[in-house]
């Protein structure tokens, strides 16, 4: 039928690129179709640490998170650009906390004793988690895709069936774009605002899990620190709010006084692709046009980095029946 590729992935964020690489590794000729370059996707402004943010427990979600953790641990050990296994401390203001459902994905989670924290905290958890600098990692993913013969197509499509001109199998990894591309009204933005400050020498990620004033976390990177944040459902505005930035700085400095006076180097806003009902990862029973198989892989919300490689494996397994390498 004149197909140039075996599979095409719609979307060039971390979900799309990891899925494309796994399809390549399964032997498929792969293209990625995207309206925006990876540097302009939501993934590019993510704090990008492994943590199942606002993700409920399901056995398959734990499986995806565990596989992703293991893959990032391997990549960190192999020196993949931007991937670091970072010590993490999650502080709690109440002692009535069960061990988190995702604890089994971690090799080293331990409970922090009361005498190891200061008021208002009563306990917490310590563990090691992958941290990913997207400005280095997304280009690495693209380079790997290209080096193995993959193609990046800059094109805006209005319907998923349009991708059928390139390949019989299509993976919809369009994130927030899925709301329009496949009419999924369960998809909505969750706005996240971040403040970037120069790193005064911090190495440990710290979360204040129960702060009533707002979402609070401090994630060091190689040259800066990501301070957050917000979780504003249904908000589309990507302009940073000065008042919100000031509140984030105040909460994070209260959490870690070492941040006092750290120069602000940037402000960022991203729209997480949240989906009521959780991630949609399934074969669509009604592909249209020339598309012989359509697999959806979207709706990861703030857990794209946490689930990416596990979901890429699952999506690749679903596509396998439609792919005829060569």
For 72-116, the DSSP string reads HHHHHHTT-TTEEEEEEEEEES-S--PPPGGGGG-S--EEEPGGG
DSSP state of 234: T
Structure confidence at residue 96 (pLDDT): 65
Q: Which residues pair with 220 in a beta bridge?
A: 225
pLDDT in tens, the chain (326 residues): 568 999 999 999 999 999 999 999 999 999 999 998 777 788 888 889 999 988 999 999 999 999 999 999 999 999 999 999 999 999 999 876 788 999 999 999 999 998 999 999 999 999 999 999 999 999 999 999 999 999 999 999 999 999 999 999 999 999 999 999 999 999 999 999 999 999 989 999 999 988 999 989 999 999 999 999 999 999 999 999 999 999 999 999 999 999 999 999 999 999 999 999 999 999 999 998 999 999 999 999 999 999 999 999 999 999 975 454 44
Distance CA 275, CA 56 (A): 12
Quick one: which of 20, 311, 26, 14 has its CA closest to 163?
20
Structure confidence at residue 2 (pLDDT): 65
Cα separation of the two ends of the chain: 13
Distance CA 251, CA 260 (A): 11
Alpha-carbon distances, residue 256 vs 160, 208, 252 (angstroms): 46, 10, 6
Indicate the SS3 state at residue 275.
Answer: strand
Q: Which residue, chain included where needed, has tokens 């690489």?
A: 21
Q: Which residue, chain included where needed, has tokens 């989670």?
A: 109
Where in the chain does DSSP place strands (E)? 7-10, 30-34, 83-92, 110-112, 123-132, 151-154, 169-172, 187-198, 205-208, 216-220, 224-228, 232-233, 264-275, 280-284, 293-298
DSSP state of 236: -
CATH fold of 7-319 reads D-Amino Acid Oxidase; Chain A, domain 2 (3.30.9)
Q: Are strands 187-198 and 30-34 parallel, antiparallel or unpaired?
A: unpaired
Structure confidence at residue 325 (pLDDT): 43
Distance CA 86, CA 219 (A): 9
Burial of 238 (0-12, 13-18, 19+ CB in 10 A): middle
- The CA R_g of the chain, rounded to the nearest whole Å, is 20
For residue 199, what are the contacts with CB-CB under 8 A and spacing of at least 6? 220, 221, 222, 223, 224, 225, 262
Residue spans per domain, the chain: 7-319
Is the backbone peptide bond immediately before 325 cis, with ω within 30 degrees of 0?
no
């Amino acid at each position: 039928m004149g197909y140039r590729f075996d599979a095409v992935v719609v979307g060039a964020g971390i979900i799309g690129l990891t899925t494309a690489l796994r399809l390549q590794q399964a032997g498929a000729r792969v293209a990625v179709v995207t309206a925006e370059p990876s540097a302009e996707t939501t993934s590019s402004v993510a704090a990008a640490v492994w943590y199942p943010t606002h993700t409920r427990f399901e056995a398959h979600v734990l499986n995806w998170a565990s596989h992703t953790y293991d893959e990032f641990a391997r990549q960190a050990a192999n020196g993949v650009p931007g991937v670091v296994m970072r010590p993490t401390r999650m502080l709690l203001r109440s002692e009535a906390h069960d061990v988190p459902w995702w604890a089994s994905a971690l090799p080293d989670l331990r409970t922090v004793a009361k005498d190891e924290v200061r008021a208002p905290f009563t306990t917490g958890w310590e563990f090691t988690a992958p941290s990913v600098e997207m400005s280095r990692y997304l280009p690495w993913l693209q380079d790997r895709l290209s080096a193995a013969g993959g193609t990046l197509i800059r094109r805006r499509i209005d319907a998923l069936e349009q991708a059928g001109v390139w390949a019989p199998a299509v993976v919809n990894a369009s994130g927030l774009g899925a709301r329009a591309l496949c009419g999924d009204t369960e998809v909505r933005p969750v706005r996240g605002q971040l403040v970037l400050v120069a790193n005064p020498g911090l190495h440990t990620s710290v979360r204040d899990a129960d702060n009533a004033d707002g979402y609070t976390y401090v994630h060091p990177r190689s040259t800066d620190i990501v301070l957050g944040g917000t979780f504003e459902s249904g908000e589309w505005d990507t302009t940073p709010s000065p008042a919100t930035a000031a509140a984030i700085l105040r909460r994070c400095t209260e959490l870690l006084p070492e941040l006092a006076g750290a120069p602000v180097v940037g402000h960022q806003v991203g729209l997480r692709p949240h989906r009521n009902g959780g991630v949609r990862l399934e074969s669509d029973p009604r592909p249209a046009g020339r598309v012989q198989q359509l697999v959806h892989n979207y709706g990861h919300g703030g857990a794209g980095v946490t689930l990416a490689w596990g979901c890429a494996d699952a999506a690749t397994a679903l596509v396998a029946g439609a792919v005829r390498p060569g």
